[in-house]
Amino acid sequence: MQIKIFFDYLKFEKRFSPHTIVAYQKDIAQFSDFLATQYDTNSLSKISHQHIRSWIIYLLDTGLTSASINRKIASLKALYQFYLKREHIKVNPMAKVIGPKKGKRLPVYVHKDELEALFNKIEFGEDYEGKRDRLILEILYQTGMRRAELLELKVEDISIKRNEIRVLGKRMKERIIPINTALVKQVKTFLADRNQYLNNIVDKDYLLLTSSGKKMYPKLVYRVVRKYLSIVSTVEQKGPHTLRHSFATHLSENGADLNAIKTLLGHSNLAATQIYTNNTIQRLKEVYTQSHPKAKSK
């Protein structure tokens, strides 16, 4: 069976990029080589799902990641769907093939002692930007809100009397997050200072503004968070979402109810929140390995 017609189809009809086509070519060539070596055949049209499953097992044994294997499976799926459509085959061998599950990556978070160092030992400066940047970090870590939610936070969303913040999350879903008295005072002081430092406040309804008095934008928040987390932590990811992960992980480590964490984060289902318990278990394993005299016994 001419494989060239498949790649012509990808190029001229599906209009796949040259990079994608090269990837498909490599994947299918690897599978063809496997068939030749293991089964003494190079006929892609005369194989069963068992041949493909054995290839997947072989790839797993080589240490290839689930993501890479699933990409190769996607290449074969496209090929056999094409052959089935053109009636080159009567049965699609991919119909009974299921790829390996991707392992969930644990959320990256900053340790409590590193955040304590950030808020207690780092100088932010007494100018407007210094006070604003500190408030950005305080709010993100103390509430676990998303960057987009922070950008939309308005002065009226913060209740000084009730010590809480109203957040408008995904799909316009509203939630209330409690905050401590110290953060309330910090917000009050910031607003007073903001009126003194900024001559022309354009977007006065929003809590956090640029130095020109305009509503903050996503990249600026990211730069602020990355700048300060880089001082105290060596984690690879140093964006606003890392503080959200830190908020949830530290709550879980301290025994907070999972449903309460779910509500605070604004998750729509509990499954999205459960991953933070895995972080806690992983941390416990690290502590055990480092501290228990029997942990390294053989």
Task: Say how far apart CA 194 and CA 184 lie, in whole Å.
Answer: 15
Task: Say how far apart CA 174 and CA 81 lie, in whole Å.
Answer: 44
Cα 86 off chain centre by? 40
Query: Which of 83, 206, 228, 276 is labelled catalytic?
Result: 276
Q: Which amino acid is present at 146?
A: R
Structure tokens at 110: 């900053």
Task: Say how far apart CA 20 and CA 255 lie, in whole Å.
Answer: 47
8 Å CB contact between 261 and 273: yes
Query: Which of 51, 132, 146, 250 is labelled catalytic?
Result: 146
Query: Which of 51, 147, 194, 244 is labelled catalytic?
Result: 244
How many CA atoms does the CB half-sphere of 43 hold within 13 Å?
8
Catalytic, 206? Answer no
Query: Which of 72, 132, 241, 245 is labelled catalytic?
Result: 241
Structure tokens at 287: 């502590």
- Residue tagged 């640029």 (tokens): 210
Catalytic, 250? Answer no
Who contacts 271 (Cβ-Cβ below 8 Å, separation ≥6)? none
Catalytic, 88? Answer no
Catalytic, 227? Answer no
Catalytic, 19? Answer no
Query: Which of 11, 49, 154, 267 is labelled catalytic?
Result: 267
Catalytic, 51? Answer no
Query: Which of 14, 96, 170, 285 is labelled catalytic?
Result: 170
Residues with active-site annotation: 146, 170, 241, 244, 267, 276
